[in-house]
Structure 1
Amino acid sequence: MVAFGKKLKDRQIQEWQGYYINYKLMKKRVKQYAQQIQLGTLDRRHVLKDFSRMLDNQIEKIVLFLLEQQGLLACQITKLGEQRDALQEEPEISKIIELREAYRALGQDLLKLLFFVEINAIGLRKILKKFDKRFGYRFTDYYVKTRANHPYSQLQQVFKHVGLGAVVGALSRNLHDLQDRQGSYLSIYDQPTLPLQDPVVDSINAAVDRLTNSTNFLNFLGQHALIMHEELPSPSEEHVDDQRYHFMSLLLNLANTFLYMVNTYIIVPTADDYSMSLGAAPTVCGIVIGAMAVAQVFSSVYFSAWSNKSYFRPLVFSSIVLFLGNILYALAYDVSSIWILLIGRLLCGFGSARAVNRRYISDCVPLKIRMQASAGFVSASALGMACGPALAGILQINFKISKLTFNQNTLPGWVMAVAWLIYLVWLWITFKEPAREAEEDHTPHQSNDEVNNALEKGLKQPLLISSENKVDEDADQDCDDSEEAPEESRQPVNSIVMAYRLLTPSVKVQLLIYFMLKYVMEILLSESSVVTTYYFNWSTSTVAVFLACLGLTVLPVNIVVGSYISNMFQDRQILLASEIMVLIGVLLSFQVIIPYSEPQYICSGLLLFVSAEVLEGVNLSLLSRVMSSRLSRGTYNGGLLSTEAGTLARVVADATITLAGYVHQSMLLNVTLLPSLFICVTSILATCFTYNSLY
């Protein structure tokens, strides 16, 4: 694995090398500042001003060269336009083909310029993060606040490619006009999404979208899976070996995701009744529901490590454990044991193989369809979340076979046990383990002993990364003057403590937000049955319908946000607005002096759930940009940290519901909402404090 500075240099266009950001020089300057501050020969205020001036000079160099190249491209497009006008009077097929090829060649030049801008934008983000790591995040806060919103902002020209849009539009329009659709009066302005668009235009549009953080539904939905793409672009992006891709194996991973989410939420409408039937308080449903999350805190780690060696074996283990867990959950009714019930749910949590499902997509699915697979992963989760309660609402029957009882409490266990048994047979027959040799080709050359040691430690392969060649901004450790860093500094982290040390204030705030949104969602979902039974006397079927409707909002909300809202506003703006909406949803959920009504509960719950869902996608999108690249690989990666934060939030939320059972049931709602209110306000304040560093 090479250091970021070296990889940045390797990706540069040779004839433009003098115009790229001088990352190596600025990295050394950061180190010098640190030494001078330590010796007391320089104060922080001077560092702030001096480094700002240095960055301004670097950005000005980039922008002036960008403007020069834009002018050259515009001149060439103008000349080609004159040739096109001449051909309209005397059309010749050979000259039309020749002109189209000239436009395509010009498109390749534009693509090179877009990559030039993107590499410089990445370099700027990297050096800002490196500076913040040394001196705290206040520099990025200061620099972005003073430069990004200035009317003469050159920073915006790098990050938002100001001016290139006109060149992209002119080239796209002319290429479209020259396509083999003579006689058509449609243009790109009449029909923006064209079915037979020139491949070079597709590449240009993709580069523009990456540079501006523009997105669409698939991209936005795929971000929920925390599967990240190659950060340093290249005009010819490498693809995963198609021979490793097996459609049925991908389908099995998505089915595992779907069934696990069904398994998680199928008991929510009946958990309070089940607890009462075993002699416990209805609020013990919090422990029953949360037991699965408690076990998942541990299972996420060992499944993450296990997936370094195999995909098939962990999926088989997951299916067997979930089968046994559901059997115990169902049998607890007839043996009248709350402990059997809890052990069954714990076993279900120990079978959570979501880390394996993510890993398979990132490692074995070709890049050209990886975003669709990531969106499929999130869609399977959302569909499972909606189907779980809906299925519980259908299972409203009561009968006995021998000494076994089948009713609304036990049927979720029996049904899921059968589902996992069928899945296990399907998995055994059709899953294809991908060849591991292909993965080794993407790693640095090592001896067999080194490879075996890395495998044993579970650190060799990444969990949430689209390319083994992903760069690492922390590879250039400040302890070394050279461009190359010590080998160990470029390895994935091998402990949770080391991972925590890599978290900047911005990343910690993002994880806090993730904790908050998962906490409020879990409070809403897990106590829904108890609250609605007490206040509105809802039946199990009514609760199931309500929860299923909440789950069904996930995909429509993501379509709106991914296709429209995320392209109109910055991610950090949507982030803060979503947090405020979650806060409003929490405030509206409180029971005040007036009687608590169904419309109040439904509207506040819907607002809270939808806002939290929007917040999750935007938060994970930002997290992937501000998190250290070292946390994109290995067992203890950023995806695992996020999963652990969310799972811990669910555990704490479910424990809160159970502890709140010691107060009177009329106070349950307000008591459980108070921590939600506190955590939500804290996350909003933390976001405001780090707002300008989320760039």
Structure 2
Amino acid sequence: MVGFGKKLRESQIQEWKGYYFNYKLMKKKVKRYLEQMEVGAQNRHNVLRDFSVLLDTQIEKIVLFLLEQQGVLAHRLCDLAQEHHSLLQQPNNSNISELQEAYREVGRDLLRLLHFLEMNAIGLRKILKKFDKRLGYKFTDYYVKTRANHPYSQLRQVFRHVGIGAVVGVLSHSFADLHDLKLCQGSYISIYDQPSYTHQDPILESIKLAVDRLSNSTSFLQFLGRRAFIVQNEQLPSSPKDQIIMDDQFHFMSLLLNLANTFLYMVNTYIIVPTADNYSLNLGAAASVCGVVIGSMAVAQVFSSVYFSAWSNRSYLRPLIFSSIVLLIGNTLYALAYDLNSLPVLLIGRLFCGLGSARAVNRRYISDCVPSKLRMQASAGFVSASALGMACGPALAWLLQKDFRIFNLTMNQDTLPGWVMALAWLIYLLWLWICFKDPTNNKNEGILVSYQSNNAGPEIHVAVEDEQTQPLLMNTAESKQQENEDDEEENPDKETQKPITSIVAAYKLLTPSVKVQLYVYFMLKYAMEIVLAESSLVTEYYFIWSTSNVAIFLACLGLTVLPVNIVVGNYISNIFEERQVLLGSEIMVCIGLVLSFQAVIPYSVPQYVGSALITFVSAEVLEGVNLSLLSRVMSSRLSRGTFNGGLLSTEAGTLARVIADGTITIAGYFGQSQLLNTTLLPALFFCISSILATCYTYNSLY
């Protein structure tokens, strides 16, 4: 596996070679500091000061070159503006096309500059992580705090692409003018009156995507896609032709079936929430046992996530078939428990449903089998399917308020969710068997991708290899020469690119910032589960709500997911930094939990509905920014393999649900009058501690 330093050198624009972040030099410095610290030749203060100066020098070199190149582009645009003005006086289609191509050439050079800037930003982030990991310091926290918040910060200029917007603005209105001039012969309209003109030329779309990647600007689609947490750690930016997954290998129906599995599973999870307490009572148990009934599915999911993640290394169709069969059995047992009058059968049915959780397969399929140009849309589809399933589950429970018998089997509000889901999984299984196409396994084949850079320059060849794959071109002399050129740290890099093989090894890679983000994820899932799972108990005790009222309330909560993400993705995340949104969302979750407590005054419907809405919506916002930040601070070794970052986050969230549902059941034994406050206390503790932990690692989330 090629190390980052080598990838960086291979992807450099040769004429700009001397202006890149010197990742190799900085790695050598980190190694030397480590050796000097071990023998006592350096102290902590001198190391921090020396490395800070080196970073400042590297960043200053990048920023000055960036300003210089922006000046070159500005000068070229000034020359083109004169031609543009002359052309407006005497329009000529041939000259218009030539001028459009000249503007496109400037756009391509701007893309090269953004490519240069993005690679440097990635190199800077990686060396900061490496320094913290090797020397055990919180250097990133110190460096970002002292540099990024300074009024003359050059660090901020690397990540905020200062001046790029002006160049993009000139290109946008120039393309709009020429486009309209070519069609209407002079009767053009300003882009400020017709904003859609800014997207007329494809080069502007490419620039917009590059700027968004660099600044972490988001749209609704991107924000939803990040929430899927299909881990894609920072990689070197590449040409659109750098497609490891070829379009002709992509099977849309298989993707649709994968998303259908996601939707049905979420429906299956939440369809029983409004009726679980009533079902428990009908089987002779306490109403609070609904926490165990709901949580048993999550208990099984803790284990199923691991074996499904491992299984997806070899196949996607087989685990999805297995998942459907197990869920079919689980829902059938859940429905039969009523006529058998057996609580154990009910719990076994829910355990089977949890053992059929194939969300690890759903994520891996999108990550591995969907072309990169469609991956963001597919990721957003994964989140949307989950959100719709979460809303449809309670809504479907509301529609199933019936009571009749078929072949001596009872069909009522308790059993119908099981029978309906069993039928749904049977139909899905047949559809899956007929239409799903397992992708060709190319994991043991090396792929050579070639592409030409946007501007004149050498053709770049990238060998994408598995650990067991031999290089496509072997030249012993060249190989040895390259090994001599690389510093000794490259060998550990090769080792660190291998996927993790155990949960213990994965845990050892978790830095403090990653641990805090996983804890935040645990907290928000715990808070959401408390709100959802105990809703039927709380509302029946305080407000005497019927099952229909609870189902409608939960469905309405689920329907807030997509609108909230529209607001956050399109507006909030583009106004504030993600870490600011993260901290603000945690505080809002805390406020929602505090408002949920039963105080001296009588508990009212507005208080409950308002506090639940604040808690749930804030947790939804928090989940998006939390997973986005987690994907950036997590080690690249956790981006693939069985024990990947997606599995860790899933396990953290599932564990939170298990503990929350267990808390509800335990609290129920103290009486329903104490249930609400007893379950909210741990949630409030987790929330306050997560806020403190976030403040502790705040600057490492840069």
Q: TM-score, normalised to structure 2's length?
A: 0.93
Q: Which amino acid aligns with 2:431?
A: W
Shift in alpha-carbon separation, 1:281–1:449, aligned structure 2, 3 A = farther
Offset at residue 172 of structure 1 (A): 2.1
1:432 is matched with 437
Distance 2:690 2:125 in 1: 24
How many Å separate the matches in 1 of 2:198 and 2:91? Answer: 25
Map Cα deviations across residues 49-96 of structure 1 (whole Å, 9 max, x no partner): 111100000000001111110101100000010111111122222221
Alignment check: 8 A CA contact 1:493 1:499 kept: yes
Q: 1:137 and 1:661, CA in 2 relative to 1: closer, same or farther beyond 3 A?
A: farther
**Residue of structure 2 aligned with 1:216, choices 203, 215, 219:** 219
Q: Go from structure 1 to structure 2 and tell me whether the alpha carbon gap of 1:237 and 1:129 turns closer, same or farther (over 3 Å shift).
A: farther
* 1:195–1:70 Cα change, 3 Å: closer
Give the Cα separation in 2 of the matches to 1:75 and 1:129. 38
Question: Match of 1:178, SS?
Answer: helix
Confirm or deny: 8 A CA contact 1:137 1:693 kept in the other structure. Answer: no
Counterparts of residues 59-70 of structure 1 (less than 5 Å):
59-70=59-70
The 8 Å contact of residues 6 and 484 in structure 1, kept in 2 or not, is answered as no
TM-superposed CA distance for 1:447, in Å, is 5.4
Q: Percent identity?
A: 71
Structure 1 residue 165 corresponds to structure 2 residue 165: yes
Letter matched to residue 527 of structure 1? E
Q: In the alignment, what sits opposite 2:194?
A: 191
Q: State yes or no: 1:643 paired with 2:650.
A: yes
Q: Distance in 2 between matches of 1:652 and 1:58?
A: 48
Provide the C-alpha distance between the structure 1 equivalents of 2:495 and 2:34, rounded to a whole number of angstroms: 22
Say yes or no: does 1:373 pair with 2:355. Answer: no
Asked if the contact 2:221–2:376 (Cα under 8 Å) also holds between the matched residues in 1, the reply is: yes
Contact map agreement 1:24 1:483 (CA 8 A) in 2: no
Matches within 5 A, 1:465-480: none
Q: Residues of 1 paired with 2:409 and 2:513: CA distance?
A: 53
* 1:12–1:448 CA distance, 2 compared to 1 (3 A): closer
CA distance in 1, matches of 2:216, 2:653: 25
Please say if residues 137 and 505 of structure 1, whose CA atoms lie closer than 8 Å, have aligned partners that are also in contact.
Answer: no
Structure 2 partner of 1:455: none
1:535 aligned to 519, 534, 542, which one?
Answer: 542
Matched, 1:145 2:110: no
Within a 5 Å distance, the mapping from 1:195-210 to structure 2 comes to 197-210=200-213
Match of 1:618 in 2: 625
Partner of 1:35: 35
Q: Secondary structure at the match of 2:552?
A: helix
In the TM superposition, what is the alpha-carbon distance from 1:175 to its structure 2 partner?
2.1
2:270 maps to 1:265:
yes
1:233 maps to 2:240: no
Shift of 1:445: 5.8
- SS of the residue 1:405 aligns to: strand
Q: Work out the CA distance in 2 between the residues paired with 1:540 and 1:449.
A: 62
Task: Compute the displacement of 1:47 (Å).
Answer: 1.0
Q: Select the residue among 348, 355, 358 that pairs with 1:353.
A: 358
List alignment gaps of at least 5 residues for structure 2.
448-463, 472-482
Of 668, 675, 685, the residue aligned with 2:682 is 675
Aligned to 1:589: 596
Amino acid at match of 2:94: S
The corresponding residue for 2:405 is 400
Offset at residue 196 of structure 1 (A) = 5.6
Mapped to 1, the partners of 2:141 and 2:407 lie a distance apart of 69
Match of 1:336 among 322, 337, 341: 341
Q: Are 2:387 and 2:558, in contact at CA under 8 Å, matched by a contact in 1?
A: yes
Q: How has the CA–CA distance of structure 1 residues 190 and 136 changed in structure 2, closer, same or farther, with 3 Å as cutoff?
A: farther
In the superposition, relative to structure 1, how do residues 289 and 165 fare at CA in structure 2: closer, same or farther (>3 Å)?
same
2:7 aligns with 7
1:281 equivalent in alignment to 2:281: no
Other structure's SS at 1:193 match: helix
- In 1: Cα distance, 2:336 partner to 2:445 partner: 46
The amino acid across from 2:573 in the alignment is: S
2:496 maps to: 489
Pair 1:256 & 2:277 matched: no
In structure 2, do the counterparts of structure 1 residues 603 and 482 end up closer, same or farther at CA, with 3 Å as the change threshold? closer
Q: Distance in 1 between matches of 2:533 and 2:127?
A: 44
SS at match of 1:400: strand
- Cα offsets for 1:565-585 (capped at 9, x unmatched): 100000000000000000000
Decide whether aligned partners of structure 1 residues 584 and 203 sit closer, same or farther in structure 2, where only a CA change above 3 A counts: same
Instruction: State the alpha-carbon separation in 2 of the partners of residues 192 and 128 from structure 1.
Output: 40
Question: Does structure 1 residue 551 correspond to structure 2 residue 558?
Answer: yes
Q: What is the rounded CA distance, in whole Å, between the counterparts of 1:448 and 1:620 in structure 2?
A: 32
Equivalent residue, structure 2, for 1:687: 694
Q: How far apart, CA to CA, are the structure 2 residues paired with 1:531 and 1:439?
A: 55
Q: Is the 8 A contact 2:172 2:198 kept in 1?
A: no
User: How many angstroms apart in 1 are the aligned matches of 2:199 and 2:570?
Assistant: 21
Instruction: Output the CA distance in 2 between the equivalents of 1:675 and 1:193.
Output: 50
Cα distance in 2 for partners of 1:190, 1:524 equals 47
CA distance in 2, matches of 1:88, 1:402: 82
User: 1:76 and 1:503 mapped to 2: Cα distance?
Assistant: 48
SS in 1 for 2:264: helix
Q: 1:679 to 1:110 in 2, by over 3 A?
A: same
Q: Cα–Cα, structure 1 residues 585 and 62, in superposed 2: closer, same or farther, change >3 Å?
A: same
> Any gaps of 5 or more consecutive residues in structure 1?
451-475
CA contact (8 A) 1:263 1:416 kept: yes
- Match of 2:612? 605
Task: Output one character per residue of 1:443-489: Cα deviation in whole Å (capped at 9) or x when no partner.
Answer: 52665899xxxxxxxxxxxxxxxxxxxxxxxxx9xx97243436433
Instruction: Give me the whole-angstrom Cα distance separating, in 2, the residues matched to 1:222 and 1:137.
Output: 33
Q: 2: CA distance between counterparts of 1:513 and 1:429?
A: 41
Aligned equivalents of 1:153, 1:488: Cα separation in 2:
35
1:195 CA displacement? 8.1
Q: Is the 2:70–2:164 Cα contact (8 Å) retained in structure 1? A: yes
SS in structure 2 of the partner of residue 494 of structure 1: coil
Distance in 2, matches of 1:237 and 1:500, equals 36
C-alpha root-mean-square deviation of aligned residues, in Å? 1.8
Distance, in Å, in 2 between the alignment partners of 1:39 and 1:662 is 60
2: distance between equivalents of 1:614 and 1:110? 34
Measured in 2, the distance between the counterparts of 1:417 and 1:480 equals 59
Amino acid at match of 2:196: T
Structure 1: distance between partners of 2:544 and 2:211: 54
Separation in 2 of the partners of 1:672 and 1:526?
A: 11
Question: Could you give the per-residue CA deviations for residues 479-519 of structure 1, whole angstroms, max 9, x where no partner exists?
Answer: 97243436433211100011111111000000000000000
Contact 2:443 2:466 in 1 (8 A): no
Q: Once the 2 structures are TM-superposed, how far is the Cα of residue 228 of structure 1 from its aligned partner?
A: 4.0
Q: In 2, are the aligned partners of 1:2 and 1:484 still within 8 Å (CA)?
A: no
1:48, distance to aligned residue in structure 2 (A): 1.0
430-439 or 685-694, which deviates more: 430-439
Contact 2:3 2:493 in 1 (8 A): no
**SS class of match (2:196):** coil
CA contact (8 A) 1:268 1:525 kept: yes
Change in CA separation of 1:159 and 1:449 when aligned onto 2, cut-off 3 Å: closer
Q: After alignment, is 84-93 or 521-530 more displaced?
A: 84-93
Q: Which of 561, 572, 578 lines up with 1:565 in the alignment?
A: 572
Q: Report deviation, 1:193.
A: 3.2
- TM-score, normalization by structure 1: 0.94
Q: Are the equivalent residues in 2 in contact too, given 1:503–1:627 (CA < 8 A)? A: yes
CA contact (8 A) 1:225 1:374 kept: yes
Partner of 1:391: 396
Post-superposition shift, 1:187?
3.0
2:622 alignment partner AA:
L
Residue 471 of structure 1 is matched in structure 2 by: none
